[in-house]
Amino acid sequence: MNALAHLIAGHELPFWTITIGVVANIPTAMLGCYLVLRRMSLMGDAISHAVLPGIVLGFLWSHSLAGWGIFVGAVVMGLITAMLTQTINTYARVPEDSSMGVVFTSLFALGVFLITNLARNFDLDPGCVLYGLIEAAPLDTVSWLGVEVPRALGPMFAALVATCVFVAVFWKELKISSFDPALATAMGYRATAMHYALMAMVAVVTVASFEAVGSIIVIAMLVVPAATAHLLTDRFGRMMLLAVGVSIVSTVMGYWSAAALDTTVAGMMGVAAGVQLAAAVIFSPRYGLVGKAANSLALSMRIVGEDIVAMLYRAEELAGQSRRGLPEKLSLRHCVRAVGGGLTARLAVPYLWRRGAIALAGGELTLTDRGRRLAQSLVRSHRLWEAFLTEHFQLPLDHVHAPAERIEHFIGPQLQESLAEDLRAPSVDPHGRDIPPTT
């Protein structure tokens, strides 16, 4: 402990502020993962607003922000929110979003009303509850094992431990009821009990962290790290780890940027989380905007490129058959126009050239051996498919080219083989053209 005391000597304020932020935000991010997957983020929002009257009543009862009063008050309010929303939805047939909206705005209004009117004589001001006062939290300390530790850390640490235990004990149940509630019920898990347990935990962490981030910005810390992680991975365990990572980064970034801009730490934590979400939305390899655009561009380039080599292959084929000696080469401009033009077509040419499928000489394109093999396989797929459509669906001849043109890009060697087998290894397609052999 002396080593720790030595380490943080002189940096108490940033050290404890960041510690409080991290301890407050980790359980929030962990539970947020379940909320996001269950599509209940807004229930988290509702609860984080609605615990306010619970906090105030608990405070009025116990006269302390660190006591059990506010925890009990907040958990009760959290459960009341979840139950009232459900009840008004079921019995009064108000749509769920409206029923949630009525319940949480009403409770929140009640909380603000109580703070501003009844609690004004006490040491509880709306700013502290709504936006958090993490800046001041390290100043109020207790001595613990010889180190001066902020008093606020106690309940937060308890909430962190409680959340970890809750998640560890009910890992399987929470996971299955988040992904497939019907299956969970069918397997005999108490999905409703899990639901309310989760809601109670959300209320607990909301209260534990309101002193650090305020009851409004809790919603950002509940939803944003989980949503960010959800964009980055498909594995649940990894998602939770990533969400925790995002919340830690948000805390550190939030602290330093708030110090630089001289503004609220809690607010900057929310903004930092938002920045990370924006980054994930744009740059996530699989689900990000750039990644998705790149994937779709790559697919278009592959298809257009394959169309170009197949066209060159057919030109070679015609030149071999024709007496008039059609040109084997096609001009670059002609090729690009023939596959539809546009940006993808123009990009597809260098793409093919880099892959060594075509050679470019004097503005004219020719196939390399490699390109010819690729084209041969494509043309084989195309003509096998035409034969297949004629054989099994009796489509007229002028109806088989278009579907074959689309599907040729997605027929692999295995399907090619099955098609050939099914059609008893035909050598010509319905138009009478040769079906090239396998490469």
Binding site for another protein (CB under 8 A): 36, 39-42, 44-45, 49, 88, 91-95, 97-102, 105-106, 108-110, 112-113, 116-117, 126, 130-131, 216-217, 219-224, 226-227, 230-231, 258, 261-264, 266-271, 273-274, 277, 281, 284, 287-289, 292
User: Are 153 and 20 spatial neighbours (Cβ–Cβ below 8 Å)?
Assistant: yes
User: Are 104 and 81 spatial neighbours (Cβ–Cβ below 8 Å)?
Assistant: yes
Closest-CA residue to 70 (of 90, 80, 55) = 55
DSSP result, 211-274: HHHHHHHHHHHHHHHHHHHHHH-S-HHHHHHHHHHHHHHHHHHHHHHHHHHTS-HHHHHHHHHH
User: Are 206 and 218 spatial neighbours (Cβ–Cβ below 8 Å)?
Assistant: yes
Q: Which is nearer to another protein, 84 or 348 (CB)?
A: 84
Instruction: Compute the least distance from the CB of residue 91 to another protein, in Å.
Output: 6
Q: What are the residues whose beta carbons fall under 8 Å from the beta carbon of 166, sequence distance 6 or more?
A: 197, 201
Q: Which is nearer to another protein, 191 or 231 (CB)?
A: 231
Instruction: Compute the least distance from the CB of residue 180 to another protein, in Å.
Output: 16
Instruction: Compute the least distance from the CB of residue 287 to another protein, in Å.
Output: 5
Instruction: Compute the least distance from the CB of residue 19 to another protein, in Å.
Output: 20
Instruction: Compute the least distance from the CB of residue 112 to another protein, in Å.
Output: 4
Q: Which is nearer to another protein, 45 or 316 (CB)?
A: 45
Q: Which is nearer to another protein, 220 or 389 (CB)?
A: 220
Q: Which residue has the tokens 């609220």?
A: 264
Q: Which is nearer to another protein, 178 or 376 (CB)?
A: 178
Q: Show contacts of 254-259: CB within 8 Å, 24+ apart.
A: 254/21, 255/14, 255/17, 255/18, 255/21, 259/14
Instruction: Compute the least distance from the CB of residue 21 to another protein, in Å.
Output: 13
Instruction: Compute the least distance from the CB of residue 289 to another protein, in Å.
Output: 6
Q: Which is nearer to another protein, 274 or 426 (CB)?
A: 274
Q: How many residues does the chain have?
A: 439
The helix (H) or strand (E) run that includes residue 312 is helix 289-321
Q: Which is nearer to another protein, 113 or 353 (CB)?
A: 113
Distance CA 68, CA 66 (A): 7
Q: Which two tokens stand for residue 146?
A: 């010889």
